[in-house]
Amino acid sequence: MSKYIFITGGVVSSVGKGITVASIGTILKSRQITVSVQKLDPYLNVDPGTMSPYQHGEVFVTQDGAETDLDLGNYERFIDVNLTAESNVTSGQIYSAVIARERRGDFLGGTIQVVPHVTNEIKERFKRLAQKSQAEVVIIEVGGTVGDIEGQPFLEAIRQMRNAVGRDNVLYIHVTLLPYLTSTQELKTKPTQHSVNELRRIGIQPDVIICRSDYPISEGIRDKISQFCDVDKQAVIPLPTVSTIYEVPLLLEEEGLGQLIVDKLSLKSHQADLSQWQELVRCLKEPREPVNIALVGKYVELKDAYFSVREALYHAALYHNREINLIWVHSEELENNGSEALLRSAQGIIVPGGFGLRGVEGMIKAASYARNNEIPYLGLCLGMHVMVIEFARYALDSTKPNSTEFDPSTPYPVIYLLPEQRGVENKGGTMRLGNYPCQLVDGSQAANAYRDSLVYERHRHRFEFNNQFRNLLEEAGMVYSGLSPDGRLVEVCELANHPWMVSCQFHPEFGSRPGRPHPLFRNFIGVSKEILREGAQPSLPLSS
Protein backbone atom coordinates (compact mmCIF):
# COMPACT_ATOMS: atom_id res chain seq x y z
CA MET A 1 0.00 0.00 0.00
CA SER A 2 1.22 3.50 -0.83
CA LYS A 3 2.07 6.05 1.85
CA TYR A 4 1.07 9.66 1.38
CA ILE A 5 2.85 12.97 1.82
CA PHE A 6 0.51 15.97 1.71
CA ILE A 7 2.04 19.36 1.09
CA THR A 8 0.25 22.60 1.88
CA GLY A 9 1.36 26.19 1.48
CA GLY A 10 1.14 29.02 3.96
CA VAL A 11 1.48 32.81 4.09
CA VAL A 12 1.76 33.62 0.37
CA SER A 13 1.77 31.81 -2.95
CA SER A 14 4.71 31.70 -5.41
CA VAL A 15 7.28 30.66 -2.81
CA GLY A 16 8.35 27.68 -4.90
CA LYS A 17 6.10 25.03 -3.39
CA GLY A 18 6.09 23.09 -6.68
CA ILE A 19 9.89 22.97 -6.79
CA THR A 20 9.95 21.90 -3.14
CA VAL A 21 7.52 19.07 -3.86
CA ALA A 22 9.53 17.99 -6.90
CA SER A 23 12.70 18.08 -4.79
CA ILE A 24 11.16 15.91 -2.08
CA GLY A 25 10.42 13.45 -4.88
CA THR A 26 14.05 13.63 -5.94
CA ILE A 27 15.48 12.89 -2.50
CA LEU A 28 13.13 9.95 -2.04
CA LYS A 29 13.92 8.60 -5.50
CA SER A 30 17.63 8.93 -4.71
CA ARG A 31 16.98 6.32 -1.98
CA GLN A 32 15.39 3.98 -4.55
CA ILE A 33 11.94 4.68 -3.16
CA THR A 34 9.33 4.81 -5.94
CA VAL A 35 7.26 7.97 -6.02
CA SER A 36 4.38 9.49 -7.89
CA VAL A 37 3.04 13.02 -7.62
CA GLN A 38 -0.30 14.76 -7.83
CA LYS A 39 -1.20 18.44 -7.93
CA LEU A 40 -4.56 19.59 -6.59
CA ASP A 41 -5.68 22.85 -8.16
CA PRO A 42 -8.54 24.50 -6.30
CA TYR A 43 -9.85 26.59 -9.22
CA LEU A 44 -13.13 25.67 -10.91
CA ASN A 45 -11.77 25.25 -14.46
CA VAL A 46 -11.76 21.59 -15.42
CA ASP A 47 -8.17 21.99 -16.60
CA PRO A 48 -5.87 24.92 -17.40
CA GLY A 49 -6.18 24.24 -21.16
CA THR A 50 -8.63 27.06 -21.69
CA MET A 51 -6.82 29.59 -19.50
CA SER A 52 -4.69 32.42 -20.81
CA PRO A 53 -0.97 31.93 -20.25
CA TYR A 54 -1.08 35.31 -18.47
CA GLN A 55 -3.40 33.75 -15.87
CA HIS A 56 -1.71 30.49 -15.47
CA GLY A 57 1.69 30.34 -17.14
CA GLU A 58 2.52 27.39 -19.35
CA VAL A 59 0.07 24.53 -19.88
CA PHE A 60 2.06 21.33 -19.47
CA VAL A 61 0.95 18.37 -21.58
CA THR A 62 1.37 14.81 -20.34
CA GLN A 63 2.09 11.89 -22.66
CA ASP A 64 -1.49 10.70 -22.39
CA GLY A 65 -2.72 14.12 -23.50
CA ALA A 66 -3.84 15.87 -20.32
CA GLU A 67 -3.47 19.65 -20.22
CA THR A 68 -2.07 20.32 -16.78
CA ASP A 69 -0.44 22.72 -14.37
CA LEU A 70 3.17 23.67 -15.09
CA ASP A 71 4.22 22.16 -11.76
CA LEU A 72 3.83 18.75 -13.41
CA GLY A 73 6.68 19.76 -15.69
CA ASN A 74 8.88 20.34 -12.66
CA TYR A 75 7.83 17.01 -11.18
CA GLU A 76 8.73 15.23 -14.43
CA ARG A 77 12.09 17.00 -14.76
CA PHE A 78 13.08 16.46 -11.13
CA ILE A 79 11.81 12.92 -10.59
CA ASP A 80 12.29 11.77 -14.19
CA VAL A 81 8.91 10.08 -14.47
CA ASN A 82 6.28 10.47 -17.15
CA LEU A 83 3.10 11.44 -15.35
CA THR A 84 -0.46 10.91 -16.54
CA ALA A 85 -3.82 12.69 -16.38
CA GLU A 86 -4.34 11.34 -12.83
CA SER A 87 -1.58 13.63 -11.58
CA ASN A 88 -3.56 16.85 -11.91
CA VAL A 89 -6.89 17.22 -10.14
CA THR A 90 -8.93 20.43 -10.16
CA SER A 91 -12.07 21.45 -8.27
CA GLY A 92 -13.70 21.69 -11.69
CA GLN A 93 -13.05 17.98 -12.35
CA ILE A 94 -14.24 16.96 -8.90
CA TYR A 95 -17.49 18.92 -9.05
CA SER A 96 -18.17 17.80 -12.66
CA ALA A 97 -17.77 14.17 -11.61
CA VAL A 98 -19.98 14.51 -8.53
CA ILE A 99 -22.71 16.37 -10.44
CA ALA A 100 -22.59 13.82 -13.30
CA ARG A 101 -23.15 11.04 -10.77
CA GLU A 102 -26.01 12.97 -9.19
CA ARG A 103 -27.67 13.36 -12.60
CA ARG A 104 -27.20 9.67 -13.28
CA GLY A 105 -29.03 8.94 -10.06
CA ASP A 106 -26.15 7.42 -8.11
CA PHE A 107 -27.17 9.25 -4.94
CA LEU A 108 -30.93 8.98 -5.33
CA GLY A 109 -32.69 10.25 -2.25
CA GLY A 110 -29.57 11.90 -0.85
CA THR A 111 -28.60 15.53 -0.47
CA ILE A 112 -25.27 16.11 -2.20
CA GLN A 113 -22.80 17.88 0.07
CA VAL A 114 -19.17 18.94 0.16
CA VAL A 115 -18.66 16.48 3.01
CA PRO A 116 -18.89 13.58 2.24
CA HIS A 117 -19.59 13.58 -1.51
CA VAL A 118 -16.99 16.04 -2.73
CA THR A 119 -14.37 14.93 -0.22
CA ASN A 120 -14.99 11.26 -1.10
CA GLU A 121 -14.46 12.01 -4.77
CA ILE A 122 -11.18 13.77 -3.91
CA LYS A 123 -9.96 10.83 -1.80
CA GLU A 124 -10.92 8.54 -4.66
CA ARG A 125 -8.46 10.45 -6.89
CA PHE A 126 -5.65 9.96 -4.36
CA LYS A 127 -6.28 6.23 -4.27
CA ARG A 128 -6.62 5.98 -8.05
CA LEU A 129 -3.15 7.45 -8.54
CA ALA A 130 -1.70 5.22 -5.82
CA GLN A 131 -3.21 2.16 -7.47
CA LYS A 132 -2.23 3.08 -11.01
CA SER A 133 1.32 4.12 -10.19
CA GLN A 134 1.96 1.44 -7.54
CA ALA A 135 4.38 3.98 -6.04
CA GLU A 136 5.62 3.44 -2.49
CA VAL A 137 5.05 7.11 -1.78
CA VAL A 138 2.46 9.38 -3.37
CA ILE A 139 3.26 13.07 -2.90
CA ILE A 140 0.24 15.34 -3.13
CA GLU A 141 0.52 19.11 -3.38
CA VAL A 142 -2.46 21.25 -2.48
CA GLY A 143 -2.33 24.32 -4.70
CA GLY A 144 -2.84 27.82 -3.31
CA THR A 145 -2.40 28.76 0.33
CA VAL A 146 -4.16 27.61 3.48
CA GLY A 147 -7.20 29.83 4.05
CA ASP A 148 -8.27 30.06 0.40
CA ILE A 149 -12.02 29.46 0.10
CA GLU A 150 -11.71 27.07 -2.86
CA GLY A 151 -9.03 24.98 -1.15
CA GLN A 152 -11.14 23.93 1.82
CA PRO A 153 -12.62 20.67 0.45
CA PHE A 154 -9.10 19.53 -0.50
CA LEU A 155 -7.78 20.29 2.99
CA GLU A 156 -10.72 18.45 4.56
CA ALA A 157 -10.03 15.46 2.29
CA ILE A 158 -6.34 15.31 3.20
CA ARG A 159 -7.29 15.58 6.88
CA GLN A 160 -9.64 12.59 6.51
CA MET A 161 -6.88 10.56 4.87
CA ARG A 162 -5.04 10.23 8.17
CA ASN A 163 -7.88 8.12 9.53
CA ALA A 164 -8.64 6.43 6.24
CA VAL A 165 -5.16 4.94 5.68
CA GLY A 166 -3.68 5.12 9.17
CA ARG A 167 -1.63 7.71 11.00
CA ASP A 168 1.73 6.11 10.19
CA ASN A 169 1.06 6.20 6.49
CA VAL A 170 0.48 9.93 6.19
CA LEU A 171 2.81 12.89 6.55
CA TYR A 172 1.85 16.56 6.44
CA ILE A 173 4.40 19.11 5.27
CA HIS A 174 3.70 22.83 5.37
CA VAL A 175 5.74 25.23 3.20
CA THR A 176 5.77 28.81 4.42
CA LEU A 177 7.59 32.08 3.89
CA LEU A 178 9.54 33.98 6.54
CA PRO A 179 9.34 37.63 5.49
CA TYR A 180 12.32 39.90 6.18
CA LEU A 181 11.86 43.34 7.73
CA THR A 182 14.52 45.72 6.52
CA SER A 183 13.91 48.26 9.28
CA THR A 184 14.67 45.80 12.07
CA GLN A 185 16.77 43.47 9.93
CA GLU A 186 15.00 40.34 11.06
CA LEU A 187 12.97 37.45 9.75
CA LYS A 188 9.43 37.25 11.08
CA THR A 189 7.78 33.99 12.14
CA LYS A 190 4.32 35.35 12.98
CA PRO A 191 2.73 34.73 9.55
CA THR A 192 3.95 31.12 9.76
CA GLN A 193 2.42 30.74 13.21
CA HIS A 194 -0.87 32.07 11.86
CA SER A 195 -0.97 29.75 8.89
CA VAL A 196 -0.16 26.75 11.11
CA ASN A 197 -2.99 27.87 13.41
CA GLU A 198 -5.29 27.96 10.40
CA LEU A 199 -4.25 24.40 9.52
CA ARG A 200 -4.81 23.22 13.08
CA ARG A 201 -8.25 24.86 13.14
CA ILE A 202 -9.29 22.37 10.47
CA GLY A 203 -7.58 19.50 12.22
CA ILE A 204 -4.22 19.21 10.49
CA GLN A 205 -1.05 19.34 12.57
CA PRO A 206 1.97 19.62 10.27
CA ASP A 207 4.79 17.13 10.87
CA VAL A 208 7.35 19.18 8.98
CA ILE A 209 7.57 22.92 8.27
CA ILE A 210 9.73 24.07 5.38
CA CYS A 211 10.63 27.74 5.72
CA ARG A 212 11.38 29.66 2.55
CA SER A 213 13.34 32.81 3.04
CA ASP A 214 15.60 35.20 1.17
CA TYR A 215 17.95 35.34 4.18
CA PRO A 216 19.73 32.74 6.31
CA ILE A 217 17.57 31.29 9.08
CA SER A 218 19.14 31.27 12.55
CA GLU A 219 18.89 28.52 15.15
CA GLY A 220 16.83 30.92 17.27
CA ILE A 221 14.22 31.23 14.56
CA ARG A 222 14.07 27.46 14.17
CA ASP A 223 13.59 27.08 17.93
CA LYS A 224 10.81 29.60 17.92
CA ILE A 225 8.92 27.95 15.06
CA SER A 226 9.43 24.54 16.64
CA GLN A 227 8.01 25.77 19.93
CA PHE A 228 5.07 27.80 18.66
CA CYS A 229 4.03 25.36 15.96
CA ASP A 230 4.67 22.20 17.98
CA VAL A 231 7.01 20.62 15.44
CA ASP A 232 10.33 18.88 16.24
CA LYS A 233 13.24 21.25 15.78
CA GLN A 234 14.87 19.00 13.17
CA ALA A 235 11.56 19.06 11.31
CA VAL A 236 11.80 22.83 10.84
CA ILE A 237 13.67 22.88 7.55
CA PRO A 238 15.22 26.13 6.31
CA LEU A 239 15.09 26.71 2.59
CA PRO A 240 16.89 29.91 1.64
CA THR A 241 16.64 31.24 -1.92
CA VAL A 242 19.22 29.64 -4.21
CA SER A 243 20.61 30.59 -7.61
CA THR A 244 19.37 27.45 -9.39
CA ILE A 245 16.22 25.45 -8.69
CA TYR A 246 18.21 22.24 -9.18
CA GLU A 247 20.01 22.95 -5.90
CA VAL A 248 16.85 22.59 -3.82
CA PRO A 249 17.02 18.76 -3.48
CA LEU A 250 20.60 19.07 -2.21
CA LEU A 251 19.61 21.67 0.38
CA LEU A 252 16.70 19.62 1.65
CA GLU A 253 18.89 16.52 1.87
CA GLU A 254 21.56 18.47 3.76
CA GLU A 255 18.96 19.54 6.30
CA GLY A 256 18.06 15.89 6.88
CA LEU A 257 14.60 15.93 5.32
CA GLY A 258 15.11 12.64 3.43
CA GLN A 259 15.97 10.65 6.55
CA LEU A 260 13.20 12.37 8.50
CA ILE A 261 10.58 11.28 5.96
CA VAL A 262 11.98 7.73 5.86
CA ASP A 263 11.80 7.53 9.66
CA LYS A 264 8.38 9.11 10.04
CA LEU A 265 6.79 6.92 7.37
CA SER A 266 8.87 3.82 8.27
CA LEU A 267 9.98 3.42 4.66
CA LYS A 268 12.41 0.79 3.43
CA SER A 269 15.24 2.84 2.05
CA HIS A 270 18.74 2.71 0.62
CA GLN A 271 21.53 5.20 1.13
CA ALA A 272 20.71 8.43 -0.71
CA ASP A 273 22.70 8.85 -3.91
CA LEU A 274 22.48 12.41 -5.16
CA SER A 275 25.84 12.40 -6.96
CA GLN A 276 24.22 13.20 -10.33
CA TRP A 277 22.51 16.22 -8.83
CA GLN A 278 25.68 17.36 -7.12
CA GLU A 279 27.48 17.16 -10.45
CA LEU A 280 24.64 19.00 -12.21
CA VAL A 281 24.67 21.84 -9.69
CA ARG A 282 28.47 22.03 -9.77
CA CYS A 283 28.37 22.45 -13.57
CA LEU A 284 25.53 24.97 -13.38
CA LYS A 285 27.50 27.13 -10.97
CA GLU A 286 30.67 27.18 -13.03
CA PRO A 287 31.13 30.21 -15.26
CA ARG A 288 30.38 29.27 -18.85
CA GLU A 289 30.59 31.15 -22.11
CA PRO A 290 27.18 32.55 -23.08
CA VAL A 291 25.19 31.74 -26.19
CA ASN A 292 22.62 34.39 -27.13
CA ILE A 293 19.21 32.94 -27.87
CA ALA A 294 16.26 35.14 -28.80
CA LEU A 295 12.90 33.78 -27.67
CA VAL A 296 10.23 35.46 -29.79
CA GLY A 297 6.77 35.18 -28.29
CA LYS A 298 3.78 37.22 -27.32
CA TYR A 299 3.55 36.28 -23.65
CA VAL A 300 7.15 37.23 -22.80
CA GLU A 301 6.11 39.58 -19.95
CA LEU A 302 5.26 36.43 -18.01
CA LYS A 303 8.32 34.21 -18.16
CA ASP A 304 6.38 31.26 -16.67
CA ALA A 305 4.42 31.06 -19.94
CA TYR A 306 7.53 29.44 -21.46
CA PHE A 307 8.72 27.48 -18.42
CA SER A 308 9.56 24.18 -20.15
CA VAL A 309 11.08 25.92 -23.19
CA ARG A 310 13.42 27.86 -20.93
CA GLU A 311 14.39 24.76 -18.98
CA ALA A 312 14.98 22.78 -22.18
CA LEU A 313 17.30 25.55 -23.39
CA TYR A 314 19.22 25.44 -20.11
CA HIS A 315 19.58 21.65 -20.31
CA ALA A 316 20.87 21.86 -23.88
CA ALA A 317 23.31 24.67 -23.05
CA LEU A 318 24.70 22.74 -20.12
CA TYR A 319 25.40 19.81 -22.43
CA HIS A 320 27.60 22.11 -24.54
CA ASN A 321 29.13 23.68 -21.45
CA ARG A 322 27.52 27.00 -22.34
CA GLU A 323 25.21 29.38 -20.56
CA ILE A 324 22.02 30.65 -22.17
CA ASN A 325 21.78 34.38 -22.47
CA LEU A 326 18.07 34.56 -23.14
CA ILE A 327 16.91 37.59 -25.09
CA TRP A 328 13.16 37.96 -24.58
CA VAL A 329 11.69 39.52 -27.71
CA HIS A 330 8.07 40.59 -27.70
CA SER A 331 6.69 39.64 -31.10
CA GLU A 332 4.44 42.71 -31.20
CA GLU A 333 7.49 44.87 -30.71
CA LEU A 334 9.09 43.15 -33.71
CA GLU A 335 6.08 44.23 -35.75
CA ASN A 336 6.79 47.86 -34.94
CA ASN A 337 10.59 47.85 -34.89
CA GLY A 338 13.08 46.48 -37.37
CA SER A 339 14.26 42.89 -36.82
CA GLU A 340 17.87 44.00 -36.87
CA ALA A 341 17.40 46.19 -33.78
CA LEU A 342 15.97 43.34 -31.70
CA LEU A 343 17.69 40.28 -33.16
CA ARG A 344 21.14 41.66 -33.96
CA SER A 345 22.96 39.74 -31.24
CA ALA A 346 20.92 36.50 -31.47
CA GLN A 347 22.99 33.42 -32.32
CA GLY A 348 19.80 31.38 -32.44
CA ILE A 349 16.09 32.20 -32.63
CA ILE A 350 13.33 30.16 -31.07
CA VAL A 351 9.62 30.70 -31.69
CA PRO A 352 7.55 28.69 -29.20
CA GLY A 353 3.85 27.79 -29.15
CA GLY A 354 0.92 30.16 -28.90
CA PHE A 355 -2.62 30.88 -29.99
CA GLY A 356 -4.37 33.70 -31.84
CA LEU A 357 -3.43 36.43 -34.26
CA ARG A 358 -1.77 38.92 -31.94
CA GLY A 359 1.97 39.16 -32.53
CA VAL A 360 2.10 36.55 -35.31
CA GLU A 361 3.40 38.94 -37.98
CA GLY A 362 6.31 39.75 -35.64
CA MET A 363 7.12 36.03 -35.35
CA ILE A 364 7.01 35.75 -39.15
CA LYS A 365 9.51 38.61 -39.31
CA ALA A 366 11.77 36.67 -36.92
CA ALA A 367 11.57 33.56 -39.15
CA SER A 368 12.38 35.66 -42.19
CA TYR A 369 15.35 37.19 -40.40
CA ALA A 370 16.61 33.72 -39.42
CA ARG A 371 16.25 32.42 -42.98
CA ASN A 372 17.90 35.40 -44.67
CA ASN A 373 20.76 35.73 -42.19
CA GLU A 374 21.36 31.99 -41.78
CA ILE A 375 20.65 32.15 -38.04
CA PRO A 376 19.67 28.80 -36.48
CA TYR A 377 15.92 28.64 -35.88
CA LEU A 378 13.82 26.26 -33.82
CA GLY A 379 10.03 26.48 -34.25
CA LEU A 380 7.73 24.77 -31.78
CA CYS A 381 4.16 24.18 -32.93
CA LEU A 382 3.07 27.77 -33.66
CA GLY A 383 6.77 28.36 -34.43
CA MET A 384 6.46 25.76 -37.19
CA HIS A 385 3.32 27.40 -38.59
CA VAL A 386 5.19 30.69 -38.64
CA MET A 387 8.16 29.16 -40.46
CA VAL A 388 5.89 27.56 -43.08
CA ILE A 389 3.94 30.81 -43.65
CA GLU A 390 7.16 32.80 -44.01
CA PHE A 391 8.68 30.31 -46.43
CA ALA A 392 5.48 30.18 -48.52
CA ARG A 393 5.43 33.99 -48.75
CA TYR A 394 8.99 33.86 -50.02
CA ALA A 395 8.39 30.95 -52.41
CA LEU A 396 5.19 32.42 -53.84
CA ASP A 397 6.49 35.98 -53.68
CA SER A 398 3.25 37.07 -52.06
CA THR A 399 2.24 38.46 -48.66
CA LYS A 400 -0.96 36.38 -48.74
CA PRO A 401 0.02 32.88 -47.54
CA ASN A 402 -1.22 32.36 -44.00
CA SER A 403 -2.76 29.98 -41.51
CA THR A 404 -6.56 29.93 -41.49
CA GLU A 405 -6.23 30.52 -37.74
CA PHE A 406 -5.12 34.08 -38.54
CA ASP A 407 -6.70 34.73 -41.94
CA PRO A 408 -9.65 32.42 -42.64
CA SER A 409 -9.99 33.67 -46.23
CA THR A 410 -6.34 33.53 -47.33
CA PRO A 411 -5.94 32.28 -50.94
CA TYR A 412 -2.92 30.24 -49.75
CA PRO A 413 -3.95 28.40 -46.55
CA VAL A 414 -0.57 26.70 -45.99
CA ILE A 415 -1.63 25.88 -42.43
CA TYR A 416 -5.22 24.86 -41.88
CA LEU A 417 -7.54 23.17 -39.44
CA LEU A 418 -6.96 19.46 -38.92
CA PRO A 419 -9.82 17.58 -40.65
CA GLU A 420 -10.84 15.99 -37.35
CA GLN A 421 -11.08 19.46 -35.80
CA ARG A 422 -13.73 20.68 -38.22
CA GLY A 423 -17.08 20.96 -36.52
CA VAL A 424 -15.53 20.78 -33.04
CA GLU A 425 -17.32 23.48 -31.07
CA ASN A 426 -16.13 22.97 -27.50
CA LYS A 427 -12.85 24.58 -26.58
CA GLY A 428 -11.86 22.49 -23.55
CA GLY A 429 -9.71 19.38 -24.06
CA THR A 430 -10.57 19.08 -27.75
CA MET A 431 -7.20 19.72 -29.44
CA ARG A 432 -4.91 17.04 -30.84
CA LEU A 433 -3.29 16.22 -27.53
CA GLY A 434 -0.51 14.01 -26.18
CA ASN A 435 1.90 11.53 -27.72
CA TYR A 436 1.85 10.67 -31.42
CA PRO A 437 4.46 8.75 -33.42
CA CYS A 438 6.67 10.53 -35.92
CA GLN A 439 8.76 8.83 -38.60
CA LEU A 440 12.00 10.67 -39.34
CA VAL A 441 13.63 10.93 -42.75
CA ASP A 442 17.18 9.59 -42.96
CA GLY A 443 19.91 12.16 -43.38
CA SER A 444 17.74 15.09 -42.25
CA GLN A 445 18.73 17.48 -39.47
CA ALA A 446 15.91 16.06 -37.38
CA ALA A 447 17.04 12.44 -37.82
CA ASN A 448 20.64 13.47 -37.13
CA ALA A 449 19.53 15.06 -33.88
CA TYR A 450 17.41 12.13 -32.69
CA ARG A 451 19.71 9.40 -34.06
CA ASP A 452 16.51 7.42 -34.34
CA SER A 453 13.87 6.83 -36.98
CA LEU A 454 10.64 6.58 -34.99
CA VAL A 455 9.97 8.94 -32.09
CA TYR A 456 6.96 9.82 -29.94
CA GLU A 457 6.30 13.44 -29.05
CA ARG A 458 3.61 15.44 -27.26
CA HIS A 459 1.15 17.56 -29.22
CA ARG A 460 -1.27 20.36 -28.46
CA HIS A 461 -2.76 22.02 -31.53
CA ARG A 462 -5.74 22.35 -33.85
CA PHE A 463 -3.99 23.45 -37.04
CA GLU A 464 -1.48 21.64 -39.25
CA PHE A 465 0.45 21.75 -42.50
CA ASN A 466 -1.81 21.74 -45.59
CA ASN A 467 -0.67 18.94 -47.92
CA GLN A 468 -1.89 20.84 -50.99
CA PHE A 469 1.26 22.93 -50.69
CA ARG A 470 3.71 20.09 -50.07
CA ASN A 471 5.15 19.89 -53.58
CA LEU A 472 5.30 23.60 -54.15
CA LEU A 473 7.26 24.30 -50.98
CA GLU A 474 9.43 21.22 -51.46
CA GLU A 475 10.53 22.51 -54.85
CA ALA A 476 11.51 25.79 -53.18
CA GLY A 477 13.71 23.97 -50.64
CA MET A 478 11.57 22.76 -47.77
CA VAL A 479 12.29 19.26 -46.45
CA TYR A 480 9.62 17.24 -44.67
CA SER A 481 11.87 15.45 -42.23
CA GLY A 482 9.24 14.03 -39.90
CA LEU A 483 5.88 12.55 -40.91
CA SER A 484 3.14 10.62 -39.18
CA PRO A 485 3.74 6.91 -39.96
CA ASP A 486 0.90 6.94 -42.53
CA GLY A 487 2.66 9.86 -44.26
CA ARG A 488 -0.40 12.05 -43.94
CA LEU A 489 0.76 14.67 -41.44
CA VAL A 490 3.89 16.83 -41.59
CA GLU A 491 5.33 16.71 -38.08
CA VAL A 492 8.80 18.16 -38.69
CA CYS A 493 10.03 20.39 -41.49
CA GLU A 494 13.35 22.06 -42.22
CA LEU A 495 15.08 24.10 -44.90
CA ALA A 496 17.60 22.49 -47.24
CA ASN A 497 19.67 25.60 -47.89
CA HIS A 498 20.10 26.79 -44.35
CA PRO A 499 22.56 25.79 -41.60
CA TRP A 500 19.75 24.75 -39.22
CA MET A 501 16.17 25.87 -39.58
CA VAL A 502 14.02 23.12 -38.08
CA SER A 503 10.45 23.22 -36.82
CA CYS A 504 8.16 20.67 -35.29
CA GLN A 505 4.42 20.39 -34.90
CA PHE A 506 4.88 18.97 -31.41
CA HIS A 507 6.34 20.25 -28.14
CA PRO A 508 9.77 18.68 -27.57
CA GLU A 509 10.36 21.00 -24.58
CA PHE A 510 8.16 18.77 -22.39
CA GLY A 511 10.49 15.81 -22.80
CA SER A 512 13.76 17.51 -21.90
CA ARG A 513 15.48 16.61 -18.64
CA PRO A 514 18.48 18.04 -16.82
CA GLY A 515 21.37 15.81 -17.82
CA ARG A 516 19.36 14.48 -20.78
CA PRO A 517 18.59 17.42 -23.09
CA HIS A 518 16.06 16.98 -25.87
CA PRO A 519 17.89 16.14 -29.15
CA LEU A 520 16.36 19.05 -31.10
CA PHE A 521 17.27 21.57 -28.41
CA ARG A 522 20.71 20.00 -28.06
CA ASN A 523 21.51 20.36 -31.74
CA PHE A 524 19.90 23.80 -31.99
CA ILE A 525 22.26 25.09 -29.28
CA GLY A 526 25.13 23.09 -30.79
CA VAL A 527 24.81 24.99 -34.07
CA SER A 528 23.92 28.33 -32.47
CA LYS A 529 27.02 28.39 -30.32
CA GLU A 530 29.20 28.44 -33.45
CA ILE A 531 27.43 31.48 -34.93
CA LEU A 532 29.29 34.75 -34.57
CA ARG A 533 27.20 37.87 -34.01
CA GLU A 534 27.86 41.43 -33.08
CA GLY A 535 29.19 41.53 -29.54
CA ALA A 536 29.93 37.81 -29.60
CA GLN A 537 33.05 37.88 -31.75
CA PRO A 538 36.16 36.47 -30.14
CA SER A 539 38.48 39.26 -29.00
CA LEU A 540 41.51 39.93 -31.20
CA PRO A 541 44.84 38.87 -29.78
CA LEU A 542 46.63 41.89 -28.30
CA SER A 543 49.77 42.81 -30.24
CA SER A 544 52.88 42.99 -28.09
Strands 137-142 and 3-9, bridge-based pairing? parallel
Active site residue 509: yes
By beta-carbon proximity to ligand GLN, the closer residue of 171 and 493 is 493
Please state the closest distance from residue 356 (CB atom) to ligand GLN, in A: 7
By beta-carbon proximity to ligand GLN, the closer residue of 459 and 529 is 459
Q: How many C-beta neighbours within 10 Å does residue 392 have? A: 24
Number of helices (H) and strands (E), helices first, in the chain?
A: 19, 23
Question: Residues for the chain: how many in total?
Answer: 544
**What does the alpha-carbon distance between residue 214 and residue 130 come to, in Å, rounded to a whole number?**
35
Please state the closest distance from residue 331 (CB atom) to ligand GLN, in A: 13
Strands 432-440 and 454-461, bridge-based pairing? antiparallel
Please state the closest distance from residue 364 (CB atom) to ligand GLN, in A: 14
Please state the closest distance from residue 324 (CB atom) to ligand GLN, in A: 21
| Residue 20 contacts residue 175 (beta carbons within 8 Å) | yes
At 280, give phi and psi (nearest 5°): -60, -50
By beta-carbon proximity to ligand GLN, the closer residue of 128 and 488 is 488
By beta-carbon proximity to ligand GLN, the closer residue of 463 and 521 is 463
By beta-carbon proximity to ligand GLN, the closer residue of 67 and 121 is 67
By beta-carbon proximity to ligand GLN, the closer residue of 264 and 358 is 358
By beta-carbon proximity to ligand GLN, the closer residue of 354 and 401 is 354
By beta-carbon proximity to ligand GLN, the closer residue of 188 and 462 is 462
At 349, give phi and psi (nearest 5°): -125, 130
Among candidate residues 367, 303, 290, the one with its CA nearest the CA of residue 525: 290
Please state the closest distance from residue 521 (CB atom) to ligand GLN, in A: 16
| Residue ranges that bind ligand GLN, judged by CB under 6 A | 353-355, 381-382, 405, 460-463
| Catalytic pick among 381, 438, 493, 504 | 381
| Residue 527 contacts residue 477 (beta carbons within 8 Å) | no
**What does the alpha-carbon distance between residue 216 and residue 219 come to, in Å, rounded to a whole number?**
10
Please state the closest distance from residue 296 (CB atom) to ligand GLN, in A: 13
| Residue 512, helix vs strand vs coil | coil
**What does the alpha-carbon distance between residue 531 and residue 540 come to, in Å, rounded to a whole number?**
17
| Residue 378 contacts residue 521 (beta carbons within 8 Å) | yes
Helices 190-201/219-229 angle, 10° precision? 20
| Catalytic pick among 320, 461, 507, 518 | 507
**Alpha helices, DSSP H, located in 80-218:** 91-104, 119-133, 152-165, 190-201
Strand partners, 186: 181
- What lies within 8 Å, CB to CB, of 530 at 6+ separation is none
Please state the closest distance from residue 423 (CB atom) to ligand GLN, in A: 16
- Provide the 8-state DSSP code for 81: -
| Residue 129, helix vs strand vs coil | helix
Please state the closest distance from residue 505 (CB atom) to ligand GLN, in A: 8
| Residue 528 contacts residue 293 (beta carbons within 8 Å) | yes
> Which residue lies nearest ligand GLN, judged by its C-beta?
353
| Catalytic pick among 86, 136, 141, 509 | 509
Helix (H) or strand (E) holding 136: none
By beta-carbon proximity to ligand GLN, the closer residue of 101 and 462 is 462
Residue 116, preceding peptide bond in cis (omega within 30° of 0): yes
Active site residue 56: no
For 14-79, what is the HEC assignment? CCCHHHHHHHHHHHHHCCCCCEEEEEEECCCCCCHHHCCHHHHCCCEECCCCCEECCHHHHHHHHH
Please state the closest distance from residue 466 (CB atom) to ligand GLN, in A: 12
For 114-141, what is the HEC assignment? HHHHHHHHHHHHHHHHHHHHCCCEEEEE
Helix (H) or strand (E) holding 134: none
Active site residue 507: yes
- Which residues are catalytically annotated? 381, 507, 509
